[in-house]
Amino acid sequence: MLFDPFISSNPLAEGIDVDKIQPDYMLISHGHEDHTADAVRIARQSGCKCIGIWEIHSWLQSNGIENTHPMNIGGSHSFEFGTVKMVSAVHSSSFPDGSYAGNPAGFVIQNSDDCFYYAGDTALHTDMQLISRKFKLKCAFLPIGNNFTMDIYDAIDAARMVGTTTVIGMHFDTFGPIEINHEEAHRAFKTAGIHLHLMKIGDTIDI
């Protein structure tokens, strides 16, 4: 599974060969360029199934990508790997040309072995409390870079709302306005009793 591919124009990912990425599924949370930059390219070369809100599906179809599955906020669908539920995100969403890209979204992924929350780009919002009522998460992928999304302290509150003590931080350090103090982040999460992973490009972890 691949989420929000931003690789070829990402200064932190210059060592990654986009043409070798072969996912089975691609999930796209919203239309901003730093989440869709390589979506069409990877979908075309891999033939993966692309999952996103209706407008993302329509945009991919208009770019010649036929293997898509449209969803919308609150809906869920079962795939071979498990179930995807599309949940709210508080952000904006437009394609690189400025056209409307539908509402931003997050995803809860669940099967018989695992359950995790991929928040996409979002502010802290109270709808996150609904996730812990319906799902028992193993971990959550949360944005922590501030300026465009939550900061580390809002992400701590988000982790509490969704009911997890394991967070993989994302949407940080790529651009100047979202650079973070890693020591401060680890210290804040540790004080809150939440384990924070700050991964580097190419890292792998087992949860």
Domain housing 145: 114-207
**Residue 60 counted as domain residue:** no
**Residue 134 is assigned to a structural domain of this protein:** yes
The pair of structure tokens assigned to 8 is 């070829």
Let me know if residue 44 belongs to a domain: no
For the chain, 207 residues long, give each residue's pLDDT as a single digit of tens. Answer: 999 999 999 988 988 999 999 999 999 999 999 999 999 999 999 999 999 999 999 999 999 999 999 999 999 999 999 999 999 999 999 999 999 999 999 999 999 999 999 999 999 999 999 999 999 999 999 999 999 999 999 999 999 999 999 999 999 999 999 999 999 999 999 999 999 999 998 899 998
Domain at 176, CATH number: 3.60.15.10
Instruction: Give dist(CA 31, CA 16) in Å, integer.
Output: 22
How many residues does the structure list for the chain? Answer: 207
In a domain, 180, yes or no: yes
Contact between 89 and 30 under an 8 Å Cβ cutoff? The reply is: yes
Q: For residues 66 and 168, give the distance between their C-alpha atoms in angstroms, rounded to a whole number.
A: 31
H or E element, residue 3: strand 2-3
- The tokens for 76 are 């869920």
Structurally, how many domains does the chain consist of? 1
Residue 86 lies in a domain: no
Please tell me the predicted confidence (pLDDT) of residue 202: 85
114-169 confidence digits (pLDDT tens): 999 999 999 999 999 999 999 999 999 999 999 999 999 999 999 999 999 999 99
- b/e map of 136-169 (b: 16 or more CB within 10 Å)? ebbbbbbbbbbebbbbbbbbbebbbbbbbebbbb
Helix (H) or strand (E) segment spanning residue 197: strand 195-197
Residue 100 forms beta bridges with which residues?
94
